[in-house]
């Protein structure tokens, strides 16, 4: 263990120092053609292609995510509403039993998966949505979050159903497994193999950017903004961040879950209390804020493209925030201790609700109630949220520094697990046959992941993060195809579970 940590520290220091002297423009030029290629696919407007002008560009990927969420919500008869109480009971441990296979509890799975989505998008992303679409974008973010609950329900049920469990009780699961196994069971082996490998490759590279470099970059930026004296110490801060991440991720999902189940409640409650103070001080303006949200959602003059325009902005930010349909959450949820796959589907319902319906809405209300939704100073992302915090007191924005750190830190350690599990899916068997140790694949990926954590502190990012962001969105394509095909299996599991467990618990 000591040798591994020393190797990580040495590699991070050497490569990060080299990267600090690289020309950011060169890096961005390498990735820009890839960004342009993926952008042309993901943000292709099918309505404009057939000559239908709706006044705003409607990206294919947003249509893909929202239409899937709407389909599953109807298909499962609004389980996102009906299942909330039972989901809370499961998280509280009401139905837990000793001896269940798996590695972590329902609460730890929820904390780990939610921690990966509750990040800077909840602070900066909401501010961007309101700046572009006005207060009305908040309404459509909430709608997208509610619909996304059913998508999470579907993918996390499948994640547990098709997971692998080795002789050491180590669990591996997620879209790469249910795409491969589920399609094979239906006689579509080659299609399943292609989709599973595609998903794994996208996740391996996507995790390095939006789930890692972007997070560390924004944390360092927030620290430097609040404490200018650290401007010349970005690299040291980045290496320190990588070390803190490395200490946790070496322990695998159990180590990550043990940290997340403690940090997530702390960061969520801290942010909630900070927002509560601001909203209390602006209590008399809350009615107006709510009316601005509702009226703005249905106002033709709300933004460019009218109602459709503000709807797309809200849907887009929600999709980026809660990752419903991306498939990442199923990787963490698959490790839960349970014998009933559908139970983790219920638990996963709560993720988009916490992430989008609660936390994103809090951020929106803070910005709107303080009157800064018009963004008179043209502030970017977290700067606008910070300005709203400053209306309380000059020192209040400093609360965002530890909050941003915790949001980013939990996101990074969660995405390290997603990336390493997919790297293991692609190359684990090779290392096991060649060297007799499958864990080598995980360690190799962890080293690269930590290097990129440090790199995020010294690069201006640009195209490289845009590229990884698009790879993460691309994950939704093979994943939702799998969800459509395997949805009947989830429905059968749901019917059987409701008959055997939920009805009996009500009788008691």
CATH code for residues 7-84+101-388+407-507: 1.10.4160
Q: What is the pLDDT of residue 72?
A: 95
State pTM to two decimals.
0.86
DSSP assignment letter at 376: T
Report the pLDDT value the prediction gives residue 166, as an integer from 0 to 100: 74
Q: How many Å apart are CA 38 and CA 27, to the nearest integer?
A: 17
Beta strands in 122-277 (DSSP E): 164-165, 171-172
**Of 374, 401, 77, 392, the residue nearest 222 (C-alpha):** 401
- For the chain, which residues make up each domain, given as ranges? 7-84+101-388+407-507
Task: With beta carbons less than 8 A apart as the criterion, state whether 310 and 296 touch.
Answer: yes
Confidence (pLDDT) at 23: 47
Q: What is the pLDDT of residue 24?
A: 53
pLDDT score of 185: 93
Q: What is the mean pLDDT of each run of 10 residues along the chain (508 residues)?
A: 56 55 58 77 80 75 89 94 89 69 75 74 77 84 90 94 80 91 94 95 87 81 79 81 84 75 82 89 89 81 63 74 85 85 90 88 90 77 79 77 82 89 91 84 88 77 68 89 95 88 56
Cα 447 to Cα 51, 173, 208, 433: the distances in Å are 49, 22, 11, 21
Q: Which stretches within 282-391 are classed as H helix?
A: 286-297, 306-322, 328-333, 341-348, 350-352, 361-369, 382-390
pLDDT at position 508 = 45
């Amino acid at each position: 263990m000591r040798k591994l940590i020393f190797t990580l520290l040495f590699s991070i220091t050497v490569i990060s120092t080299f990267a600090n002297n690289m020309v950011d423009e060169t890096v961005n030029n390498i990735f820009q053609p890839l960004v342009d290629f993926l952008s042309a696919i993901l943000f292709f407007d099918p309505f404009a292609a057939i000559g239908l002008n709706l006044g705003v560009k409607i990206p294919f990927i947003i249509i893909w995510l929202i239409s899937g969420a709407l389909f599953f919500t109807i298909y499962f008869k609004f389980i996102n509403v009906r299942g909330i109480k039972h989901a809370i009971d499961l998280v509280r441990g009401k139905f837990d039993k000793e001896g269940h296979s798996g590695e972590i509890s329902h609460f730890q799975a929820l904390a780990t998966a939610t921690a990966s989505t509750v990040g800077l998008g909840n602070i900066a992303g909401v501010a961007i949505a309101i700046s572009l679409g006005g207060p009305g974008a908040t309404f459509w973010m909430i709608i997208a979050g509610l619909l996304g609950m059913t998508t999470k329900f579907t993918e996390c049920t499948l994640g547990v159903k098709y997971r692998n469990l080795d002789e050491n009780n180590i669990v591996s699961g997620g879209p790469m497994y249910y795409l491969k196994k589920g399609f094979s069971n239906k006689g579509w082996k080659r299609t399943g193999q292609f989709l599973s490998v595609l998903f794994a490759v996208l996740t391996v590279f996507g995790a390095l950017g939006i789930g890692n470099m972007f997070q560390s970059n924004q944390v360092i930026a927030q620290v430097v903004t609040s404490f200018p004296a650290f401007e010349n110490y970005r690299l040291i801060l980045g290496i320190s961040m990588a070390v803190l991440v490395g200490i946790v991720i070496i322990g695998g999902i159990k180590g990550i879950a043990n940290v997340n189940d403690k940090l997530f409640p702390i960061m969520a409650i801290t942010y909630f209390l900070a927002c509560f103070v601001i909203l209390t001080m602006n209590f008399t303006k809350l009615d107006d804020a709510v009316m601005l949200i509702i009226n703005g959602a249905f106002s033709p003059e709300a933004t460019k493209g009218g109602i459709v325009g503000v709807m797309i902005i809200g849907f887009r930010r929600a999709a980026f925030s809660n990752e419903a349909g991306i498939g990442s959450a199923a990787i963490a949820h698959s490790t839960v201790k349970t014998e009933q796959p559908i139970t983790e589907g219920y638990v996963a319902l709560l993720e988009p609700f916490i992430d989008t319906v609660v936390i994103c809405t809090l951020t929106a209300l803070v910005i709107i109630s303080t009157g800064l939704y018009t963004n008179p100073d043209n502030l970017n992302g977290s700067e606008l949220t910070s300005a709203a915090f400053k209306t309380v007191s000059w020192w209040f924005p400093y609360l965002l520094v530890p909050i941003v750190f915790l949001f980013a830190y939990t996101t990074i350690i969660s995405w390290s697990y997603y990336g390493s599990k997919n790297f293991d899916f692609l190359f684990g068997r090779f290392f096991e046959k060649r060297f007799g140790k499958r864990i080598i694949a995980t360690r190799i990926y962890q080293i690269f992941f930590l290097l990129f954590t440090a790199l995020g502190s010294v690069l201006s990012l640009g195209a490289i993060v845009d590229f990884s962001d698009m790879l993460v969105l691309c994950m939704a394509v093979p994943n939702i195809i799998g969800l459509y095909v395997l949805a009947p299996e989830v429905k059968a599991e749901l019917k059987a579970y409701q008959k055997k467990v939920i009805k009996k618990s009500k009788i008691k």
